[in-house]
Amino acid sequence: MAKRSQRIVLKFGTGILSTEKGIGLSRSQIARLVREVGALVRAGHECVIVSSGAVAAGLDTLGLATKPKELAAKQACAAVGQSQLMHAYASAFAKQGISVAQLLLTHQDLDSRVRHLNARNTLTHLLSRGHVVPIINENDSVAVEELNFGDNDRLSAEVAILLKADLLIILTSVDGLQDAAGKVVPLVRDFTEVASLVRSDKGHTSTGGMVTKLQAAQLAVKAGIPVNIASGRKAGLVYQIVAGKRVGTYFPAK
């Protein structure tokens, strides 16, 4: 574990929070991720989670087998699922002696100077309290389709920039950015060289893919924030990344 206290934004995608079928939440997965974040907090790091998963949680409650295409139906799933998602986080973090705070944001919130400052002040105050982990999600119930962040990938970069984070960790269902042969690319310094490697490979319950993750990484890196994309289904990777070990794909800050 790195000795220096860091401000870390962690993005948890739908694929690592939901069941294998993508319907409903995987409580065991959430519990494991929370334990890893809890260890970071106890080590003195400030952690903010940008979490997807509300729609997947809502699908289960509403008895749907696949993510609906209609915006209103997706928003309904998110409205039902968001409370379940937060309850899962709150229960898991309570076992770690940590409280959670919920913030729902839209693109307009971060695009508006006043809202931008309000969000930053709120998050900064929460982090100053110590054992509190803010959990951020896009406000899917009011966001319109063309303004969606892309499974919160872009949102995670925006939040990292907002907070002047030391590190952005994007956890997904794959091991990182892969080359044409399927091998993980460990280090990316030039985004133009790897742009051809990505495609829209999003799952049936997520709205992003490696394309949006690469865009988010580029946004954060330009702002001076290093990014790590890695698998969220492998235990212990969060510790390794924060300790500076090469895991997944690393994008050094410029």
Q: Residues annotated as binding site?
A: 11, 52, 140, 152, 207-213
Binding positions for ATP are 11, 207-213
The helix-helix angle for 71-94 and 54-62 (nearest 10°) equals 110
Binding positions for substrate are 52, 140, 152
Distance (Å) of CA 120 to CA 50, 103, 165, 221: 14, 11, 12, 19
Q: How far is CA 101 from the centre of its chain?
A: 15
DSSP character at residue 244: T
The alpha helices in the chain, defined as continuous H runs, are 14-17, 27-42, 54-62, 71-94, 107-111, 113-128, 153-162, 191-194, 210-222, 237-242
Give the SS3 label for residue 198.
coil
CB of 250 closer than 8 Å to CB of 225? no
φ/ψ of 7, rounded to 5, equals -100, 115
Provide CB contacts within 8 A for 204, sequence distance 6+.
Answer: 22, 66, 67
CB of 158 closer than 8 Å to CB of 115? no
Distance (Å) of CA 23 to CA 173, 205, 226: 15, 8, 32
